[in-house]
Structure 1
Amino acid sequence: MGGRIKNALLDEATHAREVAQDVAKSGAYLYPLKGIIYFAYHKSLWRPFLSRAGQTMSVGLSVTSAMFFFTYVPQVAIMAFTSGPLAPFSAALLVLTESSTITNFLSRSFVLDDVLIDTFDGTLVARGHESLVAEGRQLQPASNDAIARLGKKIKKPLDKMRPRALLRALILLPLNLIPVVGTVLYAYAQGKKLGPVAHERYFQLKGWNDKEKEEWVKKFRGGYTGLGIASFVLEMVPFASIAFAFTNSVGAALWAADLEKTLR
């Protein structure tokens, strides 16, 4: 039995090392950071974000207030057994993370769906991929304003985030109670799932079916894992998660634009 456990642990360690190497080689984990820089220097991309800023702030404040009112004290009581005198501080961080997760889910599902697509498409247009974007929407005559060029969508909007994704994130949240290792595992588990989701619009514009998408993601598995982890870590930041959702969308579009160059 001891030998089996040892072999299983060795296999997991080897797999983890291989995944880490693939992520590092891909360089895709840098695109969320590139998205922040690109977003900062292209003011036309701010409009989708600013158009929904008030609504998303309201959702965030409502969720955070409710979470502190209903869950803070019970979580302090539970964490008193694991964190001792630091329980109030640890519980506050956990509640903020939970609130950020819920706010992100609700905002993406009911408030930000269309404008995140606009941000992704606008970035592709700004990078010179009008023909790709034209597969999914009408484009206005040439202009220096990428967002102003976006017309009516001719492909149905992407599916909203599923409740199962929120449930999975909340179930895994306690991993953050394990110092360092737990947080790394949490980010990896979420990032592995969310990486391909960041390119759902790209796949839609390409007109790929499920099998084609699966083969593509498998080919760039390390890249999508890195992109997902980096994006997820940024969106875990309380109060700034929605802003990072937009910059992450820009980063995902930048990677899509670079991938398109490899297909030519």
Structure 2
Amino acid sequence: MPEIEKLVFDGILSKEFHDDVVIMGKVRRTHKIPLLVKVSNIILSLSNWTVLPYLLGRSLVIFLCGLVPFVGAMLIAYIKAPRRGLQAQHRYFFLRGMSQQQIRVHYKTKKPEYIGFGLVANLLESIPLFNLLFIFTDTIGAALWVVKIESERKLNMLKEELNKEVRSD
């Protein structure tokens, strides 16, 4: 299903006149990564193992919350919300070619929005039988959110260009 979600995400961006993001992401994907770069990325990712104790503790807390009826499900949804919000827009970050640092900066500027989106997505996806439907509606919602972000970004770029032209006159 991830491939279908990618197609839906890309289709919505294209439908909403943001083909440039989709095309640049696909062009970037076709480049082969040299072996030396792959090896250095693996070596650099070894530092991510330092978060293992945090992840184990977080998993234990989520497990214990899952034992509490009703309230536990809401706590789990809230704990997982920021990650779910970022995961929903992972395709956008890939298409834009954003680094981990750029993603962190973007996340910090829009943290409440990511928590809100992730909370609603987690709660909807926890409903049995309907969760398959909500996986796709969450993808569509994330894509439409990206359309809004891209429109704002392009509008800001146009405003900056206009300000530069006014200053030069």
What TM-score do you get using the length of structure 2 for normalisation? Answer: 0.67
* CA displacement at 1:181 relative to structure 2: 3.6
Aligned counterparts of 1:170 and 1:122: Cα–Cα separation in 2 = 39
1:157-196 matches, within 5 Å, as 172-178=62-68, 180-196=70-86
Aligned counterparts of 1:189 and 1:155: Cα–Cα separation in 2 = 37
Of 139, 142, 148, the match for 1:252: 142
* CA displacement at 1:191 relative to structure 2: 1.1
Q: Does 1:204 align with 2:84?
A: no
Asked if 1 retains the 8 angstrom alpha-carbon contact of 2:26 and 2:95, the reply is no
Of 2, 19, 23, the match for 1:130: 19
More helix by share: 2
Equivalent residue letter for 1:185 = L
Which digits, 9 at most, give the CA deviation of each residue in 1:101-134, with x for residues without a partner? xxxxxxxxxxx12111111111111111111111
Aligned counterparts of 1:124 and 1:195: Cα–Cα separation in 2 = 18
Asked if 1 retains the 8 angstrom alpha-carbon contact of 2:86 and 2:114, the reply is yes
Aligned counterparts of 1:126 and 1:170: Cα–Cα separation in 2 = 43
Asked if 1 retains the 8 angstrom alpha-carbon contact of 2:80 and 2:118, the reply is yes
Partner secondary structure for residue 128 of structure 1: coil
Aligned counterparts of 2:19 and 2:59: Cα–Cα separation in 1 = 35
What TM-score do you get using the length of structure 1 for normalisation? Answer: 0.44
* CA displacement at 1:186 relative to structure 2: 1.2
1:142 maps to none
Partner secondary structure for residue 135 of structure 1: helix
Q: Do the aligned partners of residues 177 and 259 (structure 1) sit closer, same or farther apart at CA in structure 2, a change above 3 Å counting?
A: same
Structure 1: give runs of 5+ residues left out of the alignment: 1-111, 139-152, 157-163
Partner secondary structure for residue 106 of structure 2: helix
Asked if 2 retains the 8 angstrom alpha-carbon contact of 1:195 and 1:227, the reply is yes
Partner secondary structure for residue 24 of structure 2: coil
Q: State the Cα RMSD in Å.
A: 2.5
